[in-house]
Structure 1
Amino acid sequence: MLVWQRLLQAIDRQGKAAMATIVETRGSAPREAGARIVVLPDATFFGTIGGGTLEWRVIADLQAALARPNPHFYATQRVALGPELGQCCGGRVDLALEVFDRSRRAEVQELAEAEAAGLFRTRGSQMSDGKLHRSIDAGLHVPIGSAHIDHGVIVEGFGDDSRVLYLFGAGHVGRALVMALAPLPFRVVWVDPRPDAFPQHVPANVRCVQPQDTPAALDDAPADSFVLVMSHSHSLDLAIVARALKGHHFAYVGLIGSETKRARFTHQLDRAGLPKEDIQRMVTPIGVAGIHSKLPAAIAASVAADLLVRDEAMRQLLAHGTTGPAEPSALAMGGH
């Protein structure tokens, strides 16, 4: 969630906004430290700290904070989920609650600009004016979207580290998959050379590309991108897959199709001289096991679930200082 850009928009449009951040948890909790929810004066909100009674109470507290005359509101809460709220999680959550109004626009704009530029970390301390003052600290190494307390200082990671997915094909399944991925942590580069292939409106995390040389769209792709091929043409599919496997080490190269299509493509790629170890990195069929429906929305749900598993597997490898292909351990391949 690009929180500072959303907060800046809220200040410009409605004058103020309030935010709650989970800064620490103990035991079982509905969300992890770093989860945030932002409440606006018109009672709308975005983000979530887990739903349920905890979130309902925090929304009410933020609405009350927005109604206060003091624009420099900052407070912390410690909530025992079982004894205080009757939630069966049974853990404990520490929260930071803040209000931002127009007097803090310059501060929010600075953080929004840092967020737009990439990933960054902050250290926050409560000052005599009652506000939590954040300073950008380039030397910090904390996970993006995280928060924790270090000797009274709130250390947070911000920015968008969503996985880049190159999606080739704007047919029925491609369109359904784009919608399935809209709320998920993926930045989709949607590629199709056909005129008028794309719908008029696409989700905010999607960039549409219509290149003259379709496979060459991968030439500038980050090495940890996912590649998913489902174009209108089997010959074009083959050219894209060959480009993705040859000279690249993308985290995932998926191809829609059956075992028969896999066998045919394997034979053709072998004849083209691709090493067998590279050909073996091609994933087809795609999706999770057990979903056999051919409805585009069902295929999209299956593929989106598989992509999430692979993305989390890659993040776990990086967290342990290792790299490798995005191989899920819990889910087998499906049949699409």
Structure 2
Amino acid sequence: MKQLVGRERELRDLLGYVERRIDKIVLLQGPELSGKTALLRELRAVMASKYGRTIPVYHLDLTCFRMTDVLEWIQGNDNFLMEESKDLTILEVIEEILASEHQLQPVFIIDQAERIPEIFPQPRALIEVLAKIARERRGVVILASLDDSLREDWQDQVLPFHLGYFSEKAARAFLRKRRAAEDRRSWWQRWWSRRDLVSDEEWREIYPICGGCPRLLGFCVSPYPNLSAIVGSVVGGVHTGLEGRDGEWEGDKYRRVAELLVENGGSVEWSVVLDKVFGKDVSEGSSQLRAMASRNMINVEYLPESKTKVVMAGSPAYLYAMRLVLEGRDEPDV
């Protein structure tokens, strides 16, 4: 898949967890638009190609899920087959799947898992069942989430797996590969021109706005990308953050968070934000920051390698837009 360029190592690691039947919930965490869904889709495709039905995969995407009495487990690769169960709860459906697949040890994937508490009436019971399935090796469980609360609440039951943005070098290589894949010229025309598919001049305009975000870089595959449109799509969100939201966060607090992010290149430790913005009021600070994160105003990340929790801009474009708005501008210099 085109979106998976540059994620080969992460795909191998996830496939390794499945093949070893890991006894913890694999918690795939990463900022918005970092490619979590694309990685899970490619994992499912690779498993279908490699194992067929010997390792069945059930994938529940909560992106557009509505709280109805219909539960749809997505099974397969492209053009998924749907299984509807109108009379069963999600826990009953899981047990039914385990009963029917008891010799095959299925893989359960839940995307957008940060929505579990708002969608399901018994979120804790659901996580407990999933953790037990993994612990007893009756199946493999993978949850993908923007939110760090699942890791905090279930530290002993989950294995954090972080999927961050690309480094600048990897981001430029990603864009080169994507453009090469879209290049319709013959091989000799490409050899004859031998031009850099991402020139230094163009990269100086693209990277400040798109950073290492795979989705945003994907908008730049075609020549002359509309970078102003990318920034314009999130400027309104920054203004919404500065206005505040009754009962969720205060506008002046969001402004201070935005200032810290701009001052520190888009990432600040959680404890520093609590200290400088909320005066070490952990309860109030956590509540407001999580509310901001739930509206994609910011990201809250846990970095397993350094074992630190950080607050980040919603995306590289969000960081760029924050800088513009704080300077009193809405239009980028591109």
Alignment TM class, shorter chain as reference: under 0.3
Higher-strand-fraction structure: 1
> Which structure: larger Rg?
1
Task: Report the TM-score, using the length of structure 1 for normalisation.
Answer: 0.24
Higher-helix-fraction structure: 2
